[in-house]
Structure 1
Amino acid sequence: MSIYMTLLLVAGMGVLVGGLFYTWSLGKGQKRAQGNLDSQVPGVVQEHAYIRNPIFLTYIIFGFIALLFVIYFAVIAR
């Protein structure tokens, strides 16, 4: 396995583990709300609605990784 694949694997595992703990903490926070379904959106999220949106972040990160693959294979194919 090449060094790039190893780095990509480690980065992917880090994202998965971080996402697991983040989701776990959000789930615990929902249990503590106890029926308060319509809580107020935090001010930081209101100010940066697009930056804090996980769907947009996913598309941006995917595009960046895809671009890295294209550049990597373009350099290797020379």
Structure 2
Amino acid sequence: MTYLSMVLGVIALLILATSLIYTFKVGRLVSERKAKYDTQINEKVQDHPYTRNPVFLTYLIAAVLSLAYIFYLAFTISW
């Protein structure tokens, strides 16, 4: 069962990484497409567009929690 947990953890990280890359690509596409029609963005958000975006913060928090759980399982389960 521990091998299955490790495999599922790796699959979860791959899905997380793929989703993050896809979100970046879609975000760039949407920002390029709507650049003509958007209003002015707050200066604080312009200075830090990724850290002020809740989607990216959610990905970051999920990645940290996933890694913490995987390392916890790796060090607490005897092989």
Identity of paired residues, percent?
Answer: 12
Paired residue total: 67
Match of 1:69 in 2: 71
Q: Unaligned 5+ residue runs, structure 1?
A: 41-49
1:26-65 equivalent positions in 2, closer than 5 A: 26-32=27-33, 33-34=35-36, 38-39=40-41, 52=54, 54-55=56-57, 58-59=60-61, 61-63=63-65, 65=67
Match of 2:49 in 1: none
How far apart are residue 55 of structure 1 and its match? Answer: 4.3
Q: Note the alpha carbon deviations across 1:18-69, whole angstroms, 9 max, x for none.
A: 11221111001111213857336xxxxxxxxx89263475246414531452
Deviates most, 67-76 or 6-15: 67-76
- CA–CA separation in structure 1 for the residues paired with 2:12 and 2:66: 14
The runs of 4+ residues in structure 1 deviating greater than 4 Å are none
What do you get for the CA RMSD once the two structures are aligned? 3.4
- CA–CA separation in structure 2 for the residues paired with 1:3 and 1:74: 15
Per the normalisation by structure 2, the TM-score is: 0.53
Letter in 2 for 1:17: T
Q: Unaligned 5+ residue runs, structure 2?
A: 43-51
